[in-house]
Amino acid sequence: MNLSTRGEPRRTIKIPFLTIVRKEVVRFMRIWPQTLLPAVVTTVLYFIIFGQFIGSQIKPIEGFTYMQFIVPGLIMMSLINSAFSNVVSSFFGAKFTRNIEELIISPAPNYIIIAGYVTGGVIRAALVSAIVFFISLFFTSIAIQHVFIGIFFAFLAAVLFSLAGLLNAIFAKDFDDISIFPTFVLTPLIYLGGVFYSIQMLPPFWRGVSQFNPILYMVNGFRYSFLGITDVSPALSVGILLVFIVLLTAIDWWLLSRGTGMKN
């Protein structure tokens, strides 16, 4: 009897995790014109408008053209939006159709539910960022100086904003609620996070304010992996991102354990 049940806990964890991940991947791949294509179209417009039209009028930044400077930031912007929107739309959709109740009362631990949805967000973010990167090669020449550092920062950013998307979905009561955070919080943070500029260009006051923006550390860490330049220490960036990830994971787990947002 011990031999037959030894693998049960592992299967209890593995099966629901893989099921959630498979569902997530099938979902966003089935509607790829809505989940993958918009980020690509938007980024191409950024490359054309900011990179070519405006960028041609801006002097090089630390030896790099403006187009080369903004490529890492635009990739990170697409990654963040994709990770966040994938989890918030999927989890809230499950709440709206009431099938989330079956998942909550299932034997699957809450941390497995979180891990499954986050993994789905990371996979979509990885696909979108890879597509955007290859498109950027049509606009400028750029090489990655620290490949593994870039992958690591991309992974941390995707995990963090997948967790943020889950938090938004837990509290959302209708479809309008899932657009409030991206509109009034996420978008301003992205545009003020150093995607289009170095914070060294800012006055001292705004430079200090920018250092409270977590996206600044993602963008600069990712830019360091491409260009070898950064406004903040990569080690500090990693530390801050890990703190946010641990904090959001704990909050999401606690809210799911309490059933917050699951009851009418």
**Predicted confidence band of residue 104 (pLDDT cuts 50, 70, 90):** confident
| Phi, psi at 61, each rounded to 5° | -110, 110
In the predicted structure, residue 87 carries a pLDDT above the cut 60: yes
pLDDT band at 10 (very low <50, low <70, confident <90, very high): low
Per-residue pLDDT for 52 more than 80?
Answer: no
Average model confidence (pLDDT) across the chain: 88
Contact 56, 146 (CB under 8 A): no
Q: In angstroms, rounded to a whole number, what is the distance separating the alpha carbons of residues 98 and 121?
A: 21
pLDDT of residue 4: 42
**pLDDT at 178 exceeding the cut of 60:** yes
Residue-level pLDDT at 263: 64
Using pLDDT thresholds of 50, 70 and 90, give the confidence band for residue 80. very high
Give pLDDT, residue 63. Answer: 85
pLDDT at 260 over 90: no
Mean pLDDT across 87-108: 84
How far apart CA 59 and CA 188 sit, in angstroms, is 25
Highest mean pLDDT among 118-132, 178-192, 197-211: 118-132
